[in-house]
C-alpha cells in the first residue's frame, strides 16, 4: 500500500523539513507510528523516527490532521511470530509433499527459495499443463519466475502478479493459491475447467524477489521493506518502488525523486530490471493479454484505473461493472468487506503497472496472431485488513492466510468470467 508513506512524505515535505526524511520507515526498532485520518472513514499510518518525536509531536501538519500517536514500531512487531520456517533445508524437502496438502501449506508464510521450489514441484507434477520458467534476473542475480498454466498460446492470456511490494506478504500465498487451484482443476470443477479451455493463465508470483528475500533475511528490521534493492546514484539509500517505475506519467504525482523515499520512482522510467523483465515479457507474449490483477495489501479495496490522475478510463462503465461484481463475489461469502473505487480518486500514483497496461506502449504490442490489438482490463486488489489498522496490517497472522485466499477466489473467478475478448 502506498498511502501511509506517501502521506508521511507529504507531511514532512509540507512541513518544510524534507531533510529529516531519509530512511525513516525502515528503522523499525525506533520508528514511531501515527494514525492520521484521511477522511471520516479512512486512516493512514505514518512512521517517524524516534529521534524526531519532539518534532512530529508538535508538527502543525499532524495536529491539523488530528493524527494520534499509536505506538513504537517494535512494540507492534513483537506480538507476532510470523516466521515459523526457520529451517529452510528441512522445509525444502517437504515442498513436494506440500503441493498436495495445500491446507497445511497455507497455514504459514514461506520464504523465497521454498516458494520457488513449490512452484517448480507443482509444474513438475502437472507438467502437461503447467510450466515454470525464469523470465529475467534481478540485480542480485535472483530469478524472476513466470508460471504458465495452459499450453495453447492462441488463447487470450490472463495475468496475476504478487509481491511487487515485498512487505505485503499475504499476496504471496494469494498467487500460490490461485496457481494450485488452476493447475489442479479438472472436469469435476465446471467453472475453472471451462475457464481453462478459454484462457492461458500467467502468474509472476514474486515480482520483487530481492525485496522479498530481504524481508526474511533481515527480519524484523526490514520486514516492512517496499522497494527493490537497486543502488541509487549519489545516495546511500537503496531501492526503487517498482510500482512507480513503469513508463506511464513517470515521475509525476504520488511518486518521489528522493532515493530514500519509499515511493522513489527511480532514475528513469522503466529503469529497473524487474520492470524491464515484466514489460518485455508481457509485450512479447504470443497471445494477447486481456485481463490482469496486481495483488497488493492492505486496505480491502478493488481498484480500477486510473492511478496517475482522476481522469476516468474511456471504458469506465465496464471497469465499474466488473469490479462491482468482484466485490459482491467476495463480500457475499467472506469475512472481509471489500470496497470498489478508482485508485487516483483515493490517492494519486504515477508509474504504476496497471496504468502502464493501458498505454500505447503496451497495447501496440498486445496483439493476437492476426495482428488485432487488445486493450486489457487491469485491476489492483488490496487484500485485508482494512486501512484503519496501523502498520501491523502488513502482518496478517498465518492462521488467516487460507481463509483470505479462499474468500478472494470467487472474485477472481468472477473477474475472469466477465472479461471480454474484444479487439480494439
Ligand atoms: Zn503494494
Residue 396: predicted pLDDT = 92
| CA 372–ligand 1 middle distance (angstroms) | 32
* DSSP H or E stretch at residue 209: helix 209-217
Q: How many alpha carbons fall within 13 Å on the CB side of residue 19?
A: 0
| CA 379–ligand 1 middle distance (angstroms) | 13
pLDDT mean across residues, the chain:
84
Is 382 an annotated catalytic residue?
A: yes
Q: Cβ contacts of residue 2 below 8 Å, gap of 6+?
A: 241, 243, 254, 263, 347, 349
Residue 20 pLDDT > 60, yes or no?
no
Give me the domains of the chain, ranges plus CATH numbers: 3-79 (no CATH), 88-215+266-418 (3.40.630.10)
Other beta carbons within 10 angstroms of residue 87's beta carbon come to 9
408-418 burial code (b ≥16 CB/10 A, e <16): bbbbbbbbbee
Cβ atoms 415, 322 nearer than 8 A: yes
| CA 194–ligand 1 middle distance (angstroms) | 31
| CA 171–ligand 1 middle distance (angstroms) | 9
Q: Provide the H-helix boundaries in 246-285.
A: 273-283
Tens digits of per-residue pLDDT, 138-182? 999 999 999 999 999 899 999 999 999 999 999 999 999 999 999
Catalytic annotation, pick one of 25, 301, 382, 407: 382
What would the mean pLDDT of 249-274 be, rounded to a whole number?
Answer: 94
Residue 189 confidence class, pLDDT cut points 50, 70, 90: confident
Residue 130: predicted pLDDT = 97
Residue 187 confidence class, pLDDT cut points 50, 70, 90: confident
Cβ atoms 386, 367 nearer than 8 A: no
Highest-confidence segment of 20-29, 43-52, 199-208: 199-208
Residue 311 pLDDT > 80, yes or no?
yes
What would the mean pLDDT of 356-367 be, rounded to a whole number?
Answer: 97
Tens digits of per-residue pLDDT, 76-89? 554 445 665 544 44
The mean-pLDDT minimum among 62-66, 102-106, 337-341, 365-369 falls in 62-66
Residue 422 pLDDT > 90, yes or no?
no
Retrieve residue 381's grid coordinates: 486488489
Q: Spell out which residues have Cβ within 5 A of ligand 1, the ion.
A: 165, 296
Phi, psi angle pair for 304, to nearest 5°: -105, 165
| CA 164–ligand 1 middle distance (angstroms) | 7
* DSSP H or E stretch at residue 304: strand 301-304
| CA 297–ligand 1 middle distance (angstroms) | 6
| CA 168–ligand 1 middle distance (angstroms) | 6
| CA 126–ligand 1 middle distance (angstroms) | 31
Q: Which residues pair with 143 in a beta bridge?
A: 137
Other beta carbons within 10 angstroms of residue 143's beta carbon come to 17
Q: In the block, which residue shows the cell 520492470?
A: 275
| CA 25–ligand 1 middle distance (angstroms) | 15
Q: pTM for this structure?
A: 0.85
Hey, is 83 helix, strand or coil? Answer: coil
Q: Which residues pair with 130 in a beta bridge?
A: 149
| CA 370–ligand 1 middle distance (angstroms) | 36
Residue 243 pLDDT > 90, yes or no?
yes
Residue 265 pLDDT > 80, yes or no?
yes
Pairing type for strands 289-299 and 157-161 reads parallel
Angle at 263 between CA 147 and CA 408, to 5 degrees: 40
Q: Cβ contacts of residue 217 below 8 Å, gap of 6+?
A: none
Region class of 387: left (phi > 0), else alpha (psi between -120 and 50), else beta = alpha
Residue 335 confidence class, pLDDT cut points 50, 70, 90: confident
Amino acid at each position: 500500500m502506498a498511502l501511509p508513506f506517501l502521506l508521511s512524505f507529504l507531511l514532512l515535505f509540507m512541513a518544510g523539513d524534507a531533510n529529516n526524511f531519509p530512511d525513516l520507515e525502515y528503522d523499525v526498532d525506533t520508528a514511531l507510528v501515527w494514525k492520521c485520518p484521511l477522511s471520516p472513514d479512512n486512516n493512514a499510518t505514518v512512521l517517524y523516527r524516534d529521534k524526531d518525536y519532539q518534532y512530529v509531536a508538535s508538527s502543525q501538519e499532524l495536529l491539523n490532521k488530528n493524527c494520534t500517536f499509536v505506538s513504537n514500531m517494535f512494540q507492534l512487531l513483537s506480538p507476532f511470530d510470523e516466521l515459523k520456517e526457520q529451517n529452510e533445508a528441512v522445509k525444502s524437502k517437504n515442498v513436494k509433499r506440500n503441493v498436495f496438502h495445500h491446507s497445511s501449506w497455507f497455514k504459514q508464510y514461506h520464504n523465497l527459495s521454498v516458494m520457488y521450489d513449490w512452484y517448480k514441484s507443482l509444474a513438475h507434477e502437472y507438467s502437461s499443463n503447467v510450466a515454470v520458467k525464469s523470465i529475467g534476473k534481478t540485480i542480485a542475480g535472483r530469478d524472476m519466475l513466470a508460471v504458465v498454466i495452459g499450453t495453447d498460446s492462441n488463447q487470450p492470456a490472463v495475468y496475476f502478479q504478487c509481491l511487487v511490494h515485498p512487505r505485503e506478504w499475504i499476496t504471496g500465498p494469494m498467487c500460490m493459491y490461485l496457481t494450485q487451484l488452476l493447475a489442479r482443476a479438472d472436469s469435476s470443477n465446471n467453472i475453472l475447467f471451462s475457464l481453462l479451455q478459454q484462457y492461458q493463465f500467467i502468474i509472476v508470483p514474486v515480482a520483487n524477489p530481492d525485496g522479498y528475500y530481504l524481508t526474511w533475511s533481515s527480519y524484523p528490521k526490514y520486514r516492512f521493506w517496499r522497494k527493490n534493492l537497486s543502488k541509487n546514484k549519489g545516495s546511500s539509500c537503496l531501492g526503487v518502488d517498482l510500482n512507480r517505475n513503469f513508463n506511464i506519467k513517470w515521475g509525476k504525482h504520488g511518486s518521489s525523486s528522493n532515493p530514500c523515499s519509499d515511493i522513489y520512482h527511480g532514475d528513469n522510467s522503466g529503469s529497473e530490471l524487474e520492470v524491464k523483465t515484466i514489460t518485455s515479457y508481457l509485450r512479447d507474449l504470443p497471445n494477447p493479454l486481456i485481463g490482469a490483477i496486481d495483488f497488493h495489501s492492505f486496505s480491502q479495496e478493488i481498484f480500477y484505473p486510473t492511478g496517475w490522475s482522476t481522469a476516468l478510463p474511456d471504458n469506465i462503465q465496464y471497469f465499474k461493472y466488473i469490479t462491482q461484481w468482484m466485490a459482491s463475489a467476495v463480500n457475499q461469502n467472506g469475512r472481509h468487506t471489500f470496497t470498489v473505487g478508482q485508485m487516483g480518486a483515493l490517492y494519486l500514483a504515477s508509474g504504476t503497472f496497471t496504468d502502464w497496461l493501458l498505454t500505447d506502449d503496451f497495447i501496440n504490442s498486445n496483439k493476437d496472431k492476426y495482428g488485432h490489438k487488445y486493450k486489457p482490463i487491469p485491476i489492483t486488489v488490496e487484500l485485508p485488513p482494512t486501512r484503519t489498522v496501523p502498520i501491523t496490517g502488513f502482518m496478517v497472522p498465518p492462521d488467516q492466510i487460507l481463509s483470505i485466499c479462499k474468500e478472494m477466489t470467487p472474485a477472481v473467478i468472477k473477474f475472469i468470467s466477465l472479461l471480454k475478448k474484444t479487439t480494439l
